[in-house]
Amino acid sequence: MTGRHFWSQWTRIAVGFGAMLVGAASVTLMSSGAAFAAVDCHAAPAPNVNLRGCSLVDANLAGANLTGARLLHADLTGANLTGADLTGANLTGATFSAANLTNAKLPNARLIHADFFDANLNGANLVKAHLTGSNFSGANLTDANVLRANLNETKLVGAKLVGAKLVDASVIASDLTGANLSGAHFEGAHLVRSDLIDANLTGATLYKANLSDANLTDANLTDATLVHAHLSDAALSGVIWTGAACPNGSLAGPSGCR
């Protein structure tokens, strides 16, 4: 075989092999792409629908099945999501200002840096939801189930969480200034470095909660249960202790727990 013929044959083999690799890559990309539907802002509500970045202002999505949906950075201001199922949905950066999410299902949903200002989440299911950095200021979360959710660095200024269940939730470095937390359940919750200034914790259960370095200045702890709670280095100036159960199980005196 001449040198020229050898190199010519080798070139054909190399080119053919390269084409095979490109083809395989194309198939892989097509297969991967098939798993993620293209954005369609006019698509009907459905599981795994891709509405990323879409404007859904004042949309009526009551009772919609949006499990696993992609709504990243979507605008749902004023939308009606009453009873909607958003289990496992990705709502990162989405806006829900003044939206109605009464009894909505959002377990395991990703709501990182989402905006729920003045939204209604009465009775909503947020079990194990990822809410880091979100804004719930002025929102209504009465009787919401926020069990084991991540609310680190979340804003809940003036929010209403009456009777809400935040058992084992992580609420580290969050702002709950002026929030109504009466009757709320914080058993085993982590509230380290959080602001609870002027918060209403009347009748709240904080059994084994970690409030280390938290700021409870002027908070109302009337009839609250703090048995086995951690209050090391917490700011407690102006706290109302009437009828509160202290970490050691004793009843708080006029000047607080000892």
Torsion of CA 92, 97, 98, 104, to 10 degrees: 0
Q: What is the mean pLDDT of residues 230-249?
A: 96
Q: Which two structure tokens, joined as six digits, stand for 9?
A: 């044959």
Q: At 9, is the pLDDT very low, low, confident or very high (cuts 50, 70, 90)?
A: low
Give a three-class secondary structure readout of 147-195. CCCECCCCECCCCECCCCECCCCECCCCECCCCECCCCECCCCECCCCE
Question: Is 4 or 172 the better-scoring residue by pLDDT?
Answer: 172
How does pLDDT run across 28-40, given as a tens digit for each residue?
333 333 345 699 9
What pLDDT score was predicted for residue 78? 98
What pLDDT score was predicted for residue 6? 42
How does pLDDT run across 12-26, given as a tens digit for each residue?
544 344 444 334 433
Contacts 24+ apart (CB under 8 A), 186-195: none
What pLDDT score was predicted for residue 36? 53
What pLDDT score was predicted for residue 33? 38
What pLDDT score was predicted for residue 258? 73
Instruction: Give the residue from 171, 163, 128 showing the smallest Cα distance to 148.
Output: 128
Lowest pLDDT segment from 18-22, 156-160, 226-230:
18-22
Q: What is the mean pLDDT of residues 91-98?
A: 98
Q: What is the mean pLDDT of residues 189-197?
A: 98
Q: What is the mean pLDDT of residues 157-171?
A: 98
Q: What is the mean pLDDT of residues 201-225?
A: 98
HSE-up (13 A, CA, CB side) for residue 27: 6
Instruction: Give the residue from 105, 55, 92, 62 showing the smallest Cα distance to 77.
Output: 55
52, 39 Cβ separation under 8 angstroms = yes
What's the alpha-carbon Rg for the chain, to the nearest Å?
A: 26
